[in-house]
Each structure stands twice: as structure tokens, then as C-alpha cells.
Amino acid sequence: MVCQAFAFVFIITSVKLILVEGGVITSGSQHSCKLLLFHEGASRNAVVTRNSTHMLNDEDDRPYTAVWTNRHLNSNELFEVNFERMENARNESIYLVAIGVTNITHDDINNIQHIEPREWMMQWIIKAEDEDDSGFQKFLKSGIKFGVMRTEEGNLDIFVNGVNEGTISQGVPKSVYGVIEFLTGGLQATIVGSSSTSC
């Protein structure tokens, strides 16, 4: 069954490079002992080394990548990203970034890379693409933090600068990964938090 999930999409100016690093905040008694990091692999245009993801413009001038967490998210675990730097490289291009959850695995992406960017993602993630309605575009600037959390009740909550802005989706299954998607450009971002899990 396709999970009911969410990713919000922002339009910003495109840049040449994406750098993503990782950590985690966890609450609740039932959780994995494995530190939440990015999967060592990623879709095209990205290389993960020491939990950093670099995205470069590709030859056909359609830079795109998607990066997964290395494991399913625990209930009440915050997957939060700090967008540290945004640079304008091509004024004529828009830049889209999405954060959310999905039940598609990293191994699946290796078998469908011939699909156009975002087509497969749109099959697995419910997106709010109208920035005026979402209300989140006004927050978009360097240093902003966005996050998602699947609660024990199966709700998906959205966080802005560490503040819970409410539930954006319901009925989200347990076995979902955190995922970040970048299209048309790049930025520098870091998963924020502390590895406060105990076993």
C-alpha cells in the first residue's frame, strides 16, 4: 500500500552545490539504537561521504537528487534540516526542495533512475505545491530549519525552527524513511539535533 506522506516544495534561486550532513533528535521509549544518518548512496548527481551529500549540476543542466535516511524513522523522532546557506547561481532558474517521508526504499531508486526527476517521487509523496496556500514560503531563508515527525498515532507533523506547526498528514505507516529531494540547483543544509538514543 502506498503510504500517505508529505513533502513541502519551495521555489528559490538555484545554486551549484548541495551539502547535507546529519544528526537526530529522538523522543519516546521505543526506538532504533542505530544513529539516524543519510544512506551512503543517493540518486543521480549526489555522492554521500561521511554522511555529507554533495550535489553537482549534471551535463544536461537538470540538477536533481534525492537522499534517504539510513533507516526507518522512529515514532516521535524529529527529522529536521537546517538550510544553512542559499546562493543565487542562475537567476533564470527556479529551485525546488522537498522534505518528507516515503515508504519507497533506497534500493528501489537504483532500479528506476531512467524515470524523469520527481515523477516517481510524486507517486510516493503527497506534496503541497501551492506555496501561497502552504504558508511556509515566507519562512524560507538562510538559517531556517524545517522538520517532519511521524507520531505514535500515525500523524505527520511539520516543524519550523523547532516549533510544531501542526499535523499535515494522517494515517502514515510506521515503516517510512526520511527523504530530502532537490531539483534545479543546490544549497548547503545539515540535519540538526543530537543522537540522544539509549539502548
Question: Is residue 2 assigned to a domain?
Answer: no
The CATH number of the domain where 90 resides is what? 2.60.120.920
User: Can you give the pLDDT at residue 85?
Assistant: 61
- Given a cut of 70, the residues of the chain with pLDDT beneath it are 1-33, 40-65, 83-98, 108-142, 182-190, 193-199
Question: Is residue 156 assigned to a domain?
Answer: yes
Question: Is residue 1 assigned to a domain?
Answer: no
Question: Is residue 187 assigned to a domain?
Answer: yes
Question: Is residue 51 assigned to a domain?
Answer: yes
> Residue holding cell 510544531?
164
Which domain covers residue 34, as residue numbers? 7-191
Question: Is residue 196 assigned to a domain?
Answer: no
Q: What percent of the chain has pLDDT over 90?
A: 4
Question: Is residue 72 assigned to a domain?
Answer: yes
| Total domains in the fold of the chain | 1
Which pTM does this prediction carry?
0.67
Question: Is residue 198 assigned to a domain?
Answer: no
User: Can you give the pLDDT at residue 103?
Assistant: 78
Specify whether the CB–CB gap between 167 and 149 falls below 8 A: no
User: Can you give the pLDDT at residue 3?
Assistant: 33
